[in-house]
Amino acid sequence: MSTPTLNESPVQPESTDTPCCVPAHGEQLLQVEEAELLAARFKALGDPNRLRILSIVFSNETAETCVCDLSEPLGLKQPTVSHHLKILVDAGILHREKRGVWAYFSVIPGALESLGSSLLPKN
């Protein structure tokens, strides 16, 4: 087998009946609304402080964390922590439950798992 030079065209494989670019099937395409939801969730996860918040919430034995327990381990002021929590709640990743003067946060079941599975082909 020889390597083609600059003046030679490479040998083309024999033609097949299969097109080189297979069109996507409509039912497998990500719909606009679903793509917007996924983008919001991925964007919410795109900040190191928010990932650390999720790590703290996941590591809590009760699977929920009081907002009062986040400032110190994160090294952030309370308003900044609240800002990050709001983004995670608005993205549908965290659930907020108010109890008296404190808010408790937990991960919405399936919210993170759905990120990867939404991008996989549907059978």
Instruction: Quick: pLDDT tens for 36-58.
Output: 888 889 999 999 999 999 999 98
pTM for the model? 0.72
Map the chain to HEC letters: CCCCCCCCCCCCCCCCCCCCCCCCCHHHCCCHHHHHHHHHHHHHCCCHHHHHHHHHHHHCCCCEEEHHHCHHHHCCCHHHHHHHHHHHHHCCCEEEEEECCEEEEEECCCCCHHHHHHHCCCC
Domain count, the chain: 1
Domain-embedded: residue 8: no
Query: The domain containing residue 91 runs over which residues?
Result: 31-119
Domain-embedded: residue 47: yes
Domain-embedded: residue 14: no
| Residue 66 clears pLDDT 70, i.e. is over it | yes
Q: For the domain that residue 46 is a member of, what is the CATH number?
A: 1.10.10.10
Domain-embedded: residue 23: no
Domain-embedded: residue 13: no
- pLDDT class of 73 with cuts at 50, 70, 90: very high
**Which of the pair, 31 or 82, is modelled with greater confidence?**
82
- pLDDT class of 93 with cuts at 50, 70, 90: very high
